[in-house]
Amino acid sequence: MPELSTLLAQVFTGLVLGMIYVLLAIGLSLIFGLMTVVNFAHGALYMLGAYFGVFLLGYTKSFWVALIVAPLMVGALGLLMERFLIRRLYGRSPDDPLLLTFGLSLILVEGVKVLWGKIGLTLDPPRALAGAVDLGFMIFPAYRLFLIVVTVAVLVGLYLFLGRTNIGLIIRAGSRDPLMVRALGIDLGRIWLVVFGIGTTLAGLAGILAGPMRGAYAEMGVSMVIESFVVIVVGGMGSLLGAVVAGLLIGQVVGLTTLFVPKLAEIMVFVVMAVVLLVRPSGLFGEAGLAE
Q: Which residues bind another protein (CB under 8 A)?
A: 32, 36, 38, 85, 88-89, 92-96, 98-100, 102-107, 109-111, 113-114, 222-223, 226, 229-230, 232-233, 237, 263-264, 266-267, 270-271, 273-274, 277-278, 281, 291-292
Q: Which is nearer to another protein, 197 or 236 (CB)?
A: 236
Phi-psi region of 236 (alpha: psi -120 to 50; beta: other; left: phi over 0): left
Q: How far is the CB of 229 from another protein (least distance, A)?
A: 4
Nearer to another protein, 59 or 260 (CB): 260
The Cα-based distances of 174 to 97, 224, 225 in angstroms read 19, 28, 25
How far is residue 170's CA from residue 144's CA, in Å, rounded to a whole number? Answer: 35
Nearest in space to 203 (alpha carbons), one of 37, 12, 73, 65: 73
Question: Do 89 and 96 touch, CB atoms closer than 8 A?
Answer: yes
Nearer to another protein, 57 or 233 (CB): 233
Report the nearest approach of another protein to the CB of residue 16 (Å).
22
Using alpha carbons, list the distances in angstroms from residue 101 to 42, 43, 94.
8, 10, 12
Closest CA to 245 of 258, 227, 232: 232
Q: How far is the CB of 135 from another protein (least distance, A)?
A: 33
Q: How far is the CB of 195 from another protein (least distance, A)?
A: 17
**Residue 20 or 129 with smaller CB distance to another protein:** 20
Q: How far is the CB of 153 from another protein (least distance, A)?
A: 29
Smallest distance, another protein to C-beta of residue 2, A: 21
**Whole-number CA gyration radius for the chain:** 19
CA 205, 207, 210, 212 torsion-angle sign: negative
Closer to another protein at the Cβ: 100 or 123? Answer: 100
Closer residue to another protein, CB minimum distance, 43 or 141 = 43
